[in-house]
């Protein structure tokens, strides 16, 4: 029986993030997308939406609405760039940092629960596989054409 990795990854991703979203909404009051934005800002504050969107692999228009809601809740703030008045940077607000700390505790639970059934050796393989996907996704899905300019049959 052949393993349908691509399909299984898509199904696993959807199920995992639905469950994580439900839990973080209940326990912290954040969606996983909001948590991701706060996490990115905690690593490097004062970023334009375009940079956050790139780091999260999200569309800029989707992220704009998300950030609007986060501004309304006081989790982040929009502040004009001191170096370029045309750019508005997103900043982590103190209340966002507080919720982020709580959400990070939730992700520790997620990681422990995800890895619990696997040995240390298996966890090394899982890490290697996931790193491989991150580092090579585009070339895996969009392989270069052959030297002649055609595609292999």
Task: Look at residue 13 and tell me whether its pLDDT is greater than 70.
Answer: yes
For residue 54, the surrounding DSSP H or E stretch is helix 49-56
Residue 11 vs residue 148, higher pLDDT: 11
C-alpha atoms less than 13 angstroms from C-alpha of 76 in its C-beta half-sphere? 33
Q: Is the pLDDT of residue 146 over 90?
A: no
The answer to whether 109 touches 26, Cβ cutoff 8 Å, is: no
Cβ-based burial of 77 (10 A; exposed 0-12, middle 13-18, buried ≥19): middle
Is pLDDT above 50 for 148?
Answer: no
Please report, in angstroms and rounded to a whole number, the separation of the first and last CA atoms in the chain.
23
Express each pLDDT in 41-77 by its tens digit.
Answer: 999 999 999 999 999 989 999 899 999 999 999 999 9
> Which residues on neighbouring strands pair with residue 90, listed in sequence order?
47, 78
pTM of the model: 0.80
Whole-angstrom Cα distance, residue 142 to residue 111?
A: 30
Task: Return d(Cα 113, Cα 57) in angstroms, integer.
Answer: 25
Residue whose C-alpha is closest to residue 56's, from 81, 78, 34: 34
| pLDDT for position 125 | 97
Q: What structural domains and CATH numbers belong to the chain?
A: 19-114 (1.10.10.10)
In the predicted model, what is the mean pLDDT of the chain?
A: 90
Q: Is the pLDDT of residue 137 over 60?
A: yes
Mean pLDDT of the 72-99 span: 93
């Amino acid at each position: 029986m052949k393993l349908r990795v691509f399909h299984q990854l898509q199904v696993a991703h959807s199920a995992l993030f639905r469950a994580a979203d439900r839990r973080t909404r209940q326990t912290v009051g954040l969606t996983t997308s909001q948590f991701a934005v706060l996490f990115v800002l905690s690593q490097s504050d004062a970023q334009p939406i375009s940079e956050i969107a790139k780091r999260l692999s999200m569309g800029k228009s989707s992220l704009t609405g998300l950030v609007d809601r986060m501004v309304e809740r006081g989790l982040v703030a929009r502040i004009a760039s001191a170096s370029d008045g045309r750019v508005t940077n997103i900043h982590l607000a103190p209340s966002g940092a507080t919720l982020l700390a709580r959400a990070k505790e939730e992700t520790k639970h997620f990681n422990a629960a995800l890895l619990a059934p696997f040995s240390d050796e298996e966890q090394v393989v899982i890490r290697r596989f996931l790193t491989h996907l991150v580092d090579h996704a585009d070339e895996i899905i969009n392989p270069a054409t052959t030297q002649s300019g055609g595609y292999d049959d």
